[in-house]
Structures are given as C-alpha cells and as structure tokens.
C-alpha cells in the first residue's frame, strides 16, 4: 500500500515510528508536510500538490496535524478524502475534537462523565460562573491551548476572578472547570485504535505542578484500567468519530471524567510505558480497513 503521513517533519518521533512500522510491513511510506501542500479545487478532479508534484495513488493517509494549523491541515486532509483516499481520522472528526467546547458539549449530551465546566463571554458573569463549577480551587483553560499551555489552577476565588478577568481582557475564549483534587496531579491516557483500548498509561505531574503533560516534566507508567474507564474511553473516541485517539481521563470520586480527546496522540510516551508497538497497530488498522472512498465525510462538513 502507498501510505502518506501528514506531518511537518520526518524527524518527529511519532512520524518516524509510523514510517518505520509501515516499511517493516512492506508498505510505501511518504511524509507529506501539509503546511507546504496546495490544492486544486476543481469539480470532479480534486488534486493535492506538493513541491510541483501531484500527489496521487495513495491508499491511505495518517494525519498528524498540529493544533496551530488545524484549519489548513484539515483542508488538505479533506482534499485527500475527496480524492477517495482513506483517512485514519477524518477531517470533520479532527475539527470536532479540536474544538474543546463543542467536544465537551457532544460528550455531555451522550452522558460521558466530565468535570463540571462553565463557559461565558462577559465579565459580569464571573462570580456566578465560579459558583456554578463549585467555587475555588478551579481550573481556567484557554479553548485553543495544547500540551498544558493556557491552563491555570487558581487556588482562591479572588485569584480565579483575577485570572478570568485577565483572559477576558485579552478577548480570549476560556473554560472554567472544577478542580479534581482527588486525582492527585495524575491523569490516564487511554490509547484507542479501531474502537478498542490497546494501551493505557498513568501520567503523574512533577512535584509542584498540577499538569501531568509529559512535555512539562510529568512521568508515565503502566496502569490497569477499570471496565468503566475502558468503556468511557471507547465511547469518547466513538462520539468524536476518531479511529485513533488519545483519551485523557481523571479518576474522580464520582468515576472517570474525560478531560480531552486527542486526535493526534503522541506515540513516544505510550510505547515506552506499555512496551507495545502502537505505530504497528495503526498500520495494521489501515491494512484491515483502508478502502477507496471509505470515508463518511467525502469532503463534506
């Protein structure tokens, strides 16, 4: 099979592992920098071009699109979908998961456990907003933040009011969430492929830090999931429409709560913690499911 990996660099760990795993299974692998692609929007003949070459003949594409280029990256992916190329994750599903507010609304509608979350736009709403999520301490999040950036823990009501006012002053869209103290600065990353949890790791925040992201000094270890946690992760990925997802959970007093559903989960931490070939499992999923024109969006939405 001819498989493309939409990524800005072949040197990124996850990209390199996918290429390595694909070649090991006899596939023709290509890394395509989606930021450098350009497209011909033509009736009945959509094409994608890269450095003067028309990209055709691909059986599947694996999107590894960064949050900062979601708009353009999903446009390129959508063009491949219109060409009949099988996407590991569809463009509409990626866009859905990247919109934190929309994704939480969709998960809530389907009864998935979530931290109590508030969203507002005007400063006059601040006090009631804080009370609505249970008061301080609470977490304030930028809607566009990634890897723990734009996430602030406010210990007191006064501090919460000041941080929220500051974000509003910058005309930023934010979420306000209850702080799950009993999680102890740890979360669980569930790696879902094809509707199954194939591995999970516990990420523990560094001392003095409440964000457990590995990029921020967190550590990862193997963890055993409860049946409820496993079912929650699978349901969250399915609701987002993602075939491959990293579902981040917190263990709360009222069961697992979903913090985020990631459409481009990194492979380094999860492979190290589980000792599993996650890249190989993604390639195997493509082998079992890739079919010309097999995409629910076909460029729509």
Q: Does the pLDDT at position 292 exceed 90?
A: no
Q: Is the domain covering 2-89 a CATH 3.40.50.20 domain?
A: yes
- All residues at 6 or more sequence positions from 83 whose CB lies less than 8 Å from its CB, including other chains: 46, 47, 48, 56, 58
pLDDT of 121 over the 90 cut: no
**Where exactly are the structural domains of the chain?**
2-89, 96-111+182-263, 117-179
The pLDDT-based confidence of 145 (bands split at 50, 70, 90) is low
> Does residue 141 carry a pLDDT above 90?
no
Average pLDDT, the chain: 89
pLDDT in tens, 199-220: 999 988 766 555 555 555 567 7
Average pLDDT over residues 144-168: 80
pLDDT band at residue 73 using 50, 70 and 90 as cut-offs: very high
- Residue 293 confidence (pLDDT) above 90: no
74 φ/ψ angles, rounded to the nearest 5 degrees: -70, -25
Specify the higher pLDDT residue, 20 or 126.
20
Q: Given a cut of 70, is residue 146 above it in pLDDT?
A: no
- Helix 278-289 × helix 13-24 angle, to 10°: 60
Q: To which residue do tokens 């994608």 refer?
A: 48
- Position 195 pLDDT exceeds 70: yes
pLDDT of 215 reads: 54
Task: Give the number of C-alpha atoms closer than 13 A to the C-alpha of residue 158, restricted to the C-beta side.
Answer: 0
- Alpha-carbon dihedral angle through residues 279, 273, 269, 74, given to the nearest 10 degrees: 40
What backbone torsions phi and psi does residue 136 show, to the nearest 5 degrees? -80, 155
- pLDDT grade, residue 287 (50/70/90)? very high
- Amino acid 147: pLDDT: 54
Q: Supply the CATH classification number for the domain 117-179.
A: 3.30.1490.20
Determine the Cα–Cα distance for residues 85 and 67; give it in Å rounded to an integer. 22
pLDDT band at 37 (very low <50, low <70, confident <90, very high): very high
Q: Which of 22-36, 193-207, 211-225 has the lowest mean pLDDT?
A: 211-225
Q: If you average pLDDT over residues 20-44, what whole number do you get?
A: 94
Angle 236-296-65 (CA atoms, 0-180°, nearest 5)? 65
**Domain 96-111+182-263 belongs to what architecture?**
2-Layer Sandwich (3.30)
């Amino acid at each position: 099979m001819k498989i493309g990996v939409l990524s800005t660099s072949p040197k990124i760990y996850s990209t390199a592992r996918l290429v390595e795993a694909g070649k090991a299974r006899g596939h023709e692998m290509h890394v395509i920098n989606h930021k450098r692609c350009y497209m011909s929007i033509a009736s009945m003949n959509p094409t994608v071009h890269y450095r003067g070459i028309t990209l055709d003949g691909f059986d599947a594409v694996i999107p590894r699109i960064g949050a900062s280029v979601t708009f353009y990256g999903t446009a390129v992916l959508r063009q491949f979908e219109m060409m009949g190329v099988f996407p590991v994750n569809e463009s509409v599903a990626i866009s859905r998961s990247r919109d934190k507010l929309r994704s939480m609304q969709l998960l809530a509608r389907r009864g998935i456990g979530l931290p109590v979350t508030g969203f507002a736009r005007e400063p006059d709403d601040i006090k009631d907003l804080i009370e609505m999520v249970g008061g301080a301490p609470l977490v304030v999040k930028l809607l566009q933040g990634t890897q723990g950036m734009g996430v602030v823990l406010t210990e007191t009501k006064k501090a919460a009011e000041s941080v929220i006012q500051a974000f509003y002053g910058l005309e930023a869209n934010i979420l306000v969430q209850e702080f799950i103290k009993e999680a102890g600065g740890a979360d669980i990353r569930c790696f879902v492929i094809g509707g199954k949890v194939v591995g999970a790791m516990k990420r523990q925040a560094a001392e003095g830090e409440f964000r457990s992201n590995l990029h921020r000094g967190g550590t990862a270890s193997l963890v055993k999931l409860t049946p409820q946690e496993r079912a929650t992760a699978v349901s969250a990925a399915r609701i987002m429409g993602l075939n491959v997802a990293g579902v981040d959970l917190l263990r709360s007093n009222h069961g697992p709560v979903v913090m985020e559903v990631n459409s481009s989960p990194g492979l380094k931490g999860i492979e190290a913690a589980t000792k599993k070939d996650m890249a190989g499992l993604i390639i195997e999923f493509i082998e079992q499911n890739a079919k010309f024109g097999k995409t629910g969006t076909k460029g729509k939405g």
